[in-house]
Structure 1
Amino acid sequence: MTRQLPTLLVVRHGETQWNVAGRLQGRLDTPLTVNGMRQALAVAARLAPAVAELEDPVFWVSPLGRARQTASILADIWSMPFAAFAEDPRLAERSYGAWEGMTLDEVEQDLPDQHRGNAADPWCYRMPAGETRTEHTDRLAGWLAALDTDRPHVAVTHSGCLRALRGLYTGAARDVILAYREPQTAAFLLTAGKEAQLDAPVALLRALGCDGEGRTVAI
């Protein structure tokens, strides 16, 4: 992207019931677990100084319940109204269509042709009723193009969106983006050409009773 990009702090939602079960959520939704709520508390505490340093930030959230639930916790810890988070459908997770609610092992076993199709072309393959990775990335690029570049932005979203945004900011190669793996409790501060991973300290996670850094997603 050649257009100037604003400073962007991206936060992934906390652990959900389907994260624990290893199921693809996409546009479907399950609520945060107790552990996910604790993760959100840890992330909120970790990011509070970084958010305080942002000058007149704009706050965004995916319309999906798991992201909104996470944003509500962040808002409480940051002493701001939840209403300050503006919803934008472009921040919703990639649609996995017919795969939603399934584990990747189930997709491989029950839908082998589709599984092979995705493995052969992970950027352009569209599962039935789903969205290609390229379409998903283009959707997020459109969201970025509409942002006020004179103000920093904070977005609470999903792992797929986080990886796409990292790639858009850093210009990473497609194979690098496909290899991205981040813990549930990691956030990223993105500036043009650069990224900084902001991890919740292990001591903080333990103090809040979190079950580690959280799960990552392998798709």
Structure 2
Amino acid sequence: MKRPFGPLTYTSAECAEESEAFAATASGGERLDALVDAAVYWTDAGSCARALALLDEVAAARTGGLAAEDDPGLDRMPALYAFTLHTAGRGEEARDAFTAAEAYARGSGDWYAFEDLADHLAGAGQDERAVRHWTTALDLLLPEAADPPAGRDHGAQEHGGWDHAARERAVHRIRAERRGARARLGLPSDAHDLAPSPGPRRGLFDRLLRRGS
């Protein structure tokens, strides 16, 4: 029945079913990404067996070379798989999977892989390891967030679709998550906690200067 007032609220299971329905009509990387989304929702819904089955399907497709390079968003799968095993109560397998996800992040050298890994480790109650990987993500991210390459349009998509503004938002997000985890561990503020945020984009300054001239 259509609700007369307010936004519709969907359960995690309903979102998972919607994602699977979309995957059934999609192909390539788009299909695999939808299956990963469905796995996230099934894990939230407590249906870890269904989530793991979907992730196994995605892994098999990638092993066969399907869309392995077409969708960088699928790189979130190693940490997600480990987290889903943890949620399912399969502790030993989860530990091995998290170790494999750490190796994957190191091999990728991508700040997003480290952020995603840290988020899932924190969700699994492993704050100390999470802080370590958020720190790595910041070390990789901050030089580009603070000083984007000269001559590039700051609104342009770069490095897997992340523009400069998105990187600045990522710095704020990672610092907030990292600060919370360090507080839970009883650790004092460190250099990352006290560091100034990346400055406004030069493009904004340029527009303001042009408007005032």
TM beyond 0.5: no
Which structure carries more relative contact order (alpha carbon 8 Å, separation 6+)? Answer: 1
Higher strand share: 1
Please identify the structure whose Cα radius of gyration is greater: 2
The TM-score with structure 1 as length reference comes to: 0.29
The TM-score with structure 2 as length reference comes to: 0.30
